Amino acid sequence: MSVNHIREPLLEVGWYRDNSSQSVYADWDFLIMINISTKIIIKRKEEIAMMKEELEKIREEAIEKISSSDALEKLNEIRVFYLGKKGKLKDVMKGMKDVAPEERPKVGELVNKTQKAIEEKLEETKKNLEKIALEKKLESEVIDVTLPAKKSKIGHRHPNTIALEEVERIFVGMGYEVVDGPEIEYDYYNFEALNIPDNHPAKDEQDTFYITDKILLRTQTSSVQVHEMEKGKLPIRMISPGRVFRSDEVDATHSPSFHQIEGLVIDKNVTFADLKGTLAQFARELFGEDTKVKFRPHHFPFTEPSAEVDVTCFKCHGKGCRMCKGSGWIEILGCGMVHPHVLEMSGIDPNEYKGFAFGVGLERIALLKYEIDDMRLLYENDIRFLKQF
């Protein structure tokens, strides 16, 4: 429709202009309307182009940001920024009210496509980042399931300790006290007070380690008994277990350091029968109910009379075997009635009080009880050996 074509009939109206004035105005109105609507259409077309351009820009920008993300948290920020309730895509959709109704589906489709493209990229990147995170985690937590598990090693009581606890249990059961004493001792308590003066040959048998002329490492725990007697509290019923020392070379039956358990009873009317009864009960509890004891006369400087005690072999019950070297008996300890001179030296009246004493090697008990044929095994602390008991 052209303007000239509309104007021609107007010019032809001539002097009848008045009559046609109404229609002329009407035609101008129409012309204005046409012009306005053309402008609106142009404006709408530009608007749609701009929206398309805007959406394209948003899509490119979002995808670039997503691609350069290196953490899952960042992806969430991007999602909110573009697709959230107040996100960029919602801003664009607000402009839809200016779009002609017939154009809206096209723009709507474009918005949907943009949203879908961003969502797809987000999902793809999320999966990638999760995969990388998992790989990193697996790499830092490498577990070789074929390796054997670490076992906690549990310690084990030493055969000496087991034997000592057993001996202590037996004597405590008979009313004895367990008394401890010093390992470094005066010569007097270790020898002299036990009736072993300087020139006594027994001193050679118990050669030890001297710290000075008068101070040494004790050769027997009998020294503890002297300390107890000196306290003057009677009666006495005690055992003194502990470490003792001798200047011996190490072999299958000797060690420069070993353990003794010595016992002492001092009371009125104590006889050798009490000694025999006590040791027989001890042997039965330690080696078995049918164990018999045999007392052989012997000599110790600090007891009179003195004896060595044998028990029936607990392996062959007296028939003879490798353990008892065919004799049926095994020597386990030395004992005797406390020498009156020893009582006197410690301030006890031998006419009023009597006593008996005994001494047993702890290692000897352990070796016998557990049939160990070399004492050195007890000191090697080999867990494979120790855990057998």
Q: Which is nearer to Zn ion, 116 or 319 (CB)?
A: 319
87 to 106, contacts with Zn ion by CB under 5 A? none
Give the span between the Cα atoms of 163 and 378, in whole angstroms: 12
Q: How many CA atoms lie within 13 A of 175 on its CB side?
A: 5
> How many other CB atoms are found less than 10 A from the CB of residue 369?
16
**Token output for 276:** 């025999």
Q: Is residue 234 close enough to count as binding Zn ion by CB under 5 A?
A: no
Query: Total residues contacting Zn ion (rule CB under 5 A)?
Result: 6
Residue 272: both structure tokens together: 């050798």
13 or 316, CB closer to Zn ion? 316
User: Residue for token digits 């037996």?
Assistant: 170
Whether a cis peptide bond, with omega within 30° of 0, leads into 235 is yes
Does 321 engage in binding with Zn ion (CB under 5 A)? yes
CA-atom Rg of the chain in angstroms: 56
Select the residue interacting with Zn ion from 13, 270, 323, 372 (CB under 5 A): 323
Contact between residue 208 and residue 219 where contact means Cβ atoms under 8 Å apart: yes
Q: Which residue minimizes CB distance to Zn ion?
A: 313
CA geometry: angle 376, 381, 383, nearest 5 deg: 125
Q: Which is nearer to Zn ion, 195 or 291 (CB)?
A: 291
Q: How far is the CB of 352 from Zn ion (least distance, A)?
A: 44
Whole-number minimum distance, CB 292 to Zn ion, in Å?
13
In angstroms, give the least distance from the CB of 323 to Zn ion: 5
According to the binding rule CB under 5 A, does residue 362 interact with Zn ion? no
Residue with Cβ nearer Zn ion (245 or 287): 287
Nearer to Zn ion, 222 or 312 (CB): 312
Cβ distance to Zn ion smaller for residue 288 or 347: 288
Site for Zn ion in 279-318 (CB under 5 A): 313, 315-316
Task: Work out whether the CA dihedral 275, 280, 281, 286 comes out positive or negative.
Answer: positive
CB closer to Zn ion out of 280 and 321: 321
Tell me the one-letter amino acid at 304.
Answer: E
CB of 315 to Zn ion, least distance (A): 5
- Any idea what DSSP says for residue 210? B
Return the number of the residue (316 or 386) whose C-beta is nearest Zn ion.
316
Choice from 194, 226, 311, 324 touching Zn ion (CB under 5 A): 324
From the CB of 310, what's the least distance to Zn ion, in Å? Answer: 11
CA 135 to chain centre: 30
CB of 201 to Zn ion, least distance (A): 33
Least distance to Zn ion from the beta carbon of 268, Å? Answer: 40
373 contact partners, CB below 8 Å, separation of at least 6: 252, 367
Nearer to Zn ion, 243 or 294 (CB): 294
Nearer Cβ to Zn ion (255/291): 291
Ranges of H-type helices in the chain:
3-11, 17-67, 72-83, 88-94, 104-140, 159-173, 187-190, 202-205, 222-231, 272-287, 340-345, 362-369, 383-386
Burial letters for 94-131: b for 16+ Cβ neighbours within 10 Å, e otherwise? eeeeebeeebeeebeebbeebbebbeebbeebbeebee
Nearer to Zn ion, 239 or 311 (CB): 311
Q: At what angle do helices 104-140 and 17-67 cross, to 10 degrees?
A: 10
Site stretch for Zn ion (CB under 5 A), options 91-99, 112-120, 321-329, 381-389: 321-329
Min dist. Cβ of residue 335 to Zn ion (A): 22
CA neighbor of 181 nearest in space, from 207, 209, 219, 212? 219
Torsion-angle region of residue 326: left (phi > 0), alpha (psi -120 to 50) or beta? left
- Binding track over 135-154 against Zn ion, x by CB under 5 A: --------------------
Shortest separation between residue 149's beta carbon and Zn ion, angstroms = 45
Smallest distance, Å, CB 320 to Zn ion?
Answer: 6
Closest separation in Å from C-beta 287 to Zn ion = 12
**Binding positions for Zn ion, rule: CB under 5 A:** 313, 315-316, 321, 323-324
